[in-house]
Amino acid sequence: MRRRIVTFVMILICFVLQSTLLNLLSFGGIKPNLLLILTVSMGLMRGKHTGLWVGFISGLIIDIFFGNLFGFNALLYMYIGYINGNFYKVFYDDGIKIPMFLVAVSDLAYGMIYYLIQFAFRERFDFSAYFTRIILPELVYTVLFTLILYKLFYIINKKLTANELEENDSPWLLK
């Protein structure tokens, strides 16, 4: 329960920062995608189930406030979380390279699908312009932010896991 509340608060904080403070830190009108970093990190650190839910809730919040197709971001982020959850048992060290790589690939996939559904469908076919001006800068900026955020998420996750282990040893459970 505690984990769920903490995770939800993390989603909320990432969303609020992304829609407010990061506008001031945006570079050429491009800001990093914190919710994507969170979704990828949670998938990697907690597995498919958590990745799926974190992605779904993150996308849903975006859809509620800024979506033009309600459920679209929820679906996209959910798959990002689920797919990254597949690497849960493959990589389990505290290195930063794997998360950065996964964030890069996920953001690339996110950008491509977003372009395809939201822009190509409206006959905006100039893919190279959107790729070099929107998708690529967002990818670079998001990967840079992963350097800071993944460490933070990693520490929070460690604390929560330690807490849970402690609770499992509780005398109340030993009947």
DSSP letters of 30-54?
B---HHHHHHHHHHHHH-HHHHHHH
Q: Which is nearer to other proteins, 82 or 87 (CB)?
A: 82
Q: What are the backbone dihedrals phi and psi of residue 30, each rounded to the nearest 5 degrees, phi first?
A: -110, 130
**Which residue's structure tokens are 């974190």?**
54
Please calculate the CA angle 40-64-67 and round it to the nearest 5 degrees. Answer: 80
Give the Cα separation of 175 and 157 in Å (integer).
29
Q: Which is nearer to other proteins, 68 or 170 (CB)?
A: 68
Q: Footprint of other proteins on this chain (CB under 8 A)?
A: 12, 15-21, 23-24, 28-31, 33, 35, 48-49, 52, 56, 61-62, 64-66, 68-72, 74-75, 78-79, 82, 85, 114, 118-119, 122, 124, 126, 129-130, 133-134, 138
CB of 29 to other proteins, least distance (A): 5
CB of 34 to other proteins, least distance (A): 9
DSSP letters of 54-68?
HHHHHHHHHHHHH-S
CB of 132 to other proteins, least distance (A): 10
CB of 114 to other proteins, least distance (A): 6
Q: Which is nearer to other proteins, 28 or 171 (CB)?
A: 28
CB of 81 to other proteins, least distance (A): 10
Q: Which is nearer to other proteins, 91 or 96 (CB)?
A: 91
Q: How many Å from the N-terminal Cα to the C-terminal Cα in the chain?
A: 22
CB of 3 to other proteins, least distance (A): 17
Q: Which is nearer to other proteins, 35 or 40 (CB)?
A: 35
Look at the chain and count its residues: 175
Cα-to-chain-centroid distance, residue 8: 13
16 near 64, Cβ under 8 Å? Answer: no
